[in-house]
Chain A
Amino acid sequence: MPNKLILEMHNIHVRDTLKNLNLDVALGEFVLIVGANGTGKTTLFNVISGALPVENGTIILNGVDITNTPRHIRARRISNVLQDPRRGTIGEMSILENLRLAYNRSENDIPIESKINYFKEKLSTVNMGLEDRLDDYVGNLSGGQRQALSLVMATITDYDILLLDEITASLDPRMADTVMTITNDIVKQEQKTCLLITHNTKHIDMYGTRILKMKDGQLMS
Chain B
Amino acid sequence: MISLQEILTSIEIGLIFGVVAIGIYMTFRIINFADLTCDGSFVLGAAVTGVLIKGGCNPYVALMASCCAGGIAGLCTGILNIKCKIADLLAGIIVAFIMYSINLRIMGYIPNITIINDITIFSSQNNMAILAVFIAIIVGGLIYLLSSDIGLRLRAIGYNKHYAAVSGISIDLFTVAGLILSNALIACGGGLFSQYQGFCDISSGIGTLVTGLASVVIGEKVLPIKKEAWLVMSCIFGSIIYRIFISVALHSNSLGIKPQDLNLVTGCLIVIIMIIKRREKVRAQ
B168 x A104 contact (CB < 8 A): yes
In the bound complex, how far is the Cα of B225 from the Cα of A137, in angstroms?
A: 13
A72 and B153 form a contact (CB under 8 A): no
Which residues in chain B, 116-158, are within 8 Å of chain A measured between CB atoms?
A: 149, 152-153, 155-156
When distances are taken between beta carbons in the complex, the residues of chain A under 8 Å from B206 are: none
On chain A, the residues within 8 Å of B226 by CB distance are: 92, 137
Report chain A residues within 8 Å CB of B159: 90-93
Task: Report how far A200 CA is from B165 CA in the complex, Å.
Answer: 27
A104-B165 contact, Cβ under 8 Å, with A87-B160, A90-B159: no
Given the complex of chains A and B, what is the CA–CA distance between A139 and B168 in angstroms? 22
Q: Does A217 contact B (CB under 8 A)?
A: no
Total interface residues on A, using CB and 8 Å?
25
Q: How far is the CA of A151 from the CA of B124 in the complex (A)?
A: 58
A88 within 8 A of B: yes
B165 to chain A, nearest CB (A): 6
What does the 1/0 interface line of A80-110 toward B look like (CB < 8 Å)? 1010000111111100010011101100000
B163 x A90 contact (CB < 8 A): yes
Closest to B149 in A: A104
Q: Please indicate the chain A residues that have their CB under 8 angstroms from the CB of B258 in the complex.
A: none
| Contact residues of B between 158 and 189, Cβ < 8 Å to A | 159-160, 162-163, 165-171
* Given A71-B165, A72-B165, A87-B160, A100 and B152 contact (CB-CB distance below 8 Å): yes
Contact-residue size bin, chain B (C-beta under 8 Å from the other chain)? 10 to 19
Contact between B168 and A49 (Cβ–Cβ < 8 Å)?
A: no
B contact residues around A88 at 8 Å (CB) = 163, 166
Q: Once the chains are docked, how many angstroms separate the CA of A104 from the CA of B155?
A: 14
Given contacts A97-B152, A101-B152, A104-B149, contact A87 B163 (CB under 8 A): yes
For the complex, give the distance between the alpha carbons of A51 and B171 in Å.
12
A171 within 8 A of B: no
Contact indicator B162/A75 (Cβ below 8 Å): no
Is B153 a contact partner of A101 (Cβ separation < 8 A)?
yes
A13 CA / B193 CA spacing, docked (Å): 57
Contacts of A105 in B (CB 8 A): 167-168
Report B37 CB to chain A, min CB distance, Å: 25
Q: Is the CB of B149 within 8 A of A72?
A: no
Q: Does A199 sit at the interface, judged by CB under 8 A?
A: no
Most-contacted residue by chain A among B152, B159, B163 (CB, 10 A): B163
| Chain A min CB distance to B226 (Å) | 7
The answer to whether B163 touches A104, judged by C-beta atoms less than 8 angstroms apart, is no
A70 at interface, CB cutoff 8 A: yes
Of residues 201 through 254 on chain B, the ones whose CB sits less than 8 Å from some CB of chain A are: 226
Residues of A within 8 A of B163 (CB): 82, 87-90
* Min CB–CB distance B171 → chain A (angstroms): 8
Q: In the assembly, what is the distance between CA of A82 and CA of B149, in Å?
A: 23
* Pair A102/B162 contact, Cβ less than 8 Å: no
B152, closest chain A residue (CB): A101
| Chain A minimum-CB-distance residue to B173 | A72
Asked whether A80 lies within 8 Å of B166 as measured between CB atoms, the reply is yes
CB neighbours of B168 from chain A (8 A): 72-73, 75-76, 104-105
A-B contact pairs, 19 of them (CB 8 A): A49-B166, A51-B165, A72-B169, A73-B168, A75-B165, A75-B167, A76-B168, A82-B162, A88-B163, A93-B152, A93-B159, A97-B152, A100-B149, A101-B152, A104-B153, A104-B167, A104-B168, A137-B226, A153-B167
What residues make up the interface of A, taking CB atoms closer than 8 Å to B?
49, 51, 70-73, 75-76, 80, 82, 87-93, 97, 100-102, 104-105, 137, 153
